[in-house]
Amino acid sequence: MNELIVAVVLLGLVVVTIGAGVRIVPQGQEWVVERLGKYRTTLKPGMNFIIPYVDTVPYKLSTKDMILDIPQQEVITRDNAVIVANAICFAKVTDPTKASYGVENFKLGITSLATTALRSIIGEMDLDDALSSRDQIKARLREAMASSTMDWGISVRSVELQDIQPSESMQVAMEQQAAAERMRKSAVTKAQGEKQALILDAEGRLEAARRDAEAQVALAEASAEAIRKVADALGTDGNAMQYLLGERYIKAMNDLAASTNAKTVVLPADLPQALRGLFKG
């Protein structure tokens, strides 16, 4: 009876030992094996064998792409503006040994590195550049992280900025600045319109004065031509000038008499003499 119990115990021990020496690694994972506390090997996906009770598996790492969230944070730009930014990092374990022994917690290390690099990159840029240079920020962020995570056995696939925008206080300030800029442009436009109106008015008055002057010159030339023609018609007779003056005088008297504002018509005392002078000859 005792021998049977011992045999069962030994059989169970053998089964447990064999089971402890067989390791089936799932696809997408790699296991790190230590022997007596020292790195021994890395188990690939599939069935693997280790020495029971001597070899242990302290690290089981996924070789799939990891999606790490970079938490939202406030960053101060070069021109002392505050913006809020967050991102997502896509990374992959390429060397399980370095990922196990190169850093205490590679996920936390990647997140902290991305946070620090993001602050450093945006801190070197002005507000306008930071808001309009997403691709440049992503490229620089990936480059900065790739050189550091290489020693950890991590490959950074890409870093995508989820959101980058001014803080609430900065948004209020930007809205006020935009409103002030719109008012300034409106005032400039109004001033330019008034200036143009004044210029056009002055040009109009100048053109009117020029045309009046030309009309007066033309009228004077016409009068002179009329006098010359009358003089030519009358020959050397001096009555030509008197005739024209009399004609103008009569016309002026008619206009004065026909005016609704005229209350009194003044006639010269020597009107008969004047008429005789006009029609003499």
Residue 9 in this model has a pLDDT that exceeds 80: no
Name the pLDDT band for 185 (thresholds 50, 70, 90). confident
- Residue type for 104, please? E
Name the least confident of 77-81, 203-207, 247-251.
247-251
Got the DSSP string for 169-219?
A: HHHHHHHHHHHHHHHHHHHHHHHHHHHHHHHHHHHHHHHHHHHHHHHHHHH
CA distance between the termini of the chain: 182
Q: What is the mean pLDDT of residues 195-202?
A: 85
Q: What was the pLDDT predicted at 239? A: 59
Taking domain 66-172, whether its CATH number is 3.90.226.10 is answered by: no
Task: Report whether 25 contacts 45 (CB < 8 A).
Answer: yes
Write down the residue that tokens 């002055």 correspond to.
Answer: 202
pLDDT of residue 27: 92
Structural domain spans, the chain:
18-62, 66-172, 194-226, 237-281
244, 228 in Cβ contact below 8 A?
no
Contact predicate 159/89, CB 8 Å: yes
Confidence of residue 31 (pLDDT cuts 50, 70, 90): very high
pLDDT tens digits along 234-261? 655 555 556 666 666 677 667 666 666 6
pLDDT at 271: 52
Mean pLDDT of the 189-214 span: 84
Query: What is the distance between the alpha carbons of residues 33 and 8, in angstroms, rounded to a whole number?
Result: 31
**pTM for the predicted model, two decimal places:** 0.55
CA 192 – CA 200 distance, rounded (Å): 12
Beta carbons of 95 and 42 less than 8 angstroms apart: no
Contact in structure between 81 and 127 (CB atoms under 8 Å):
yes
Amino acid at 58: P
- pLDDT at residue 14, as a whole number: 72
SS3 77: coil
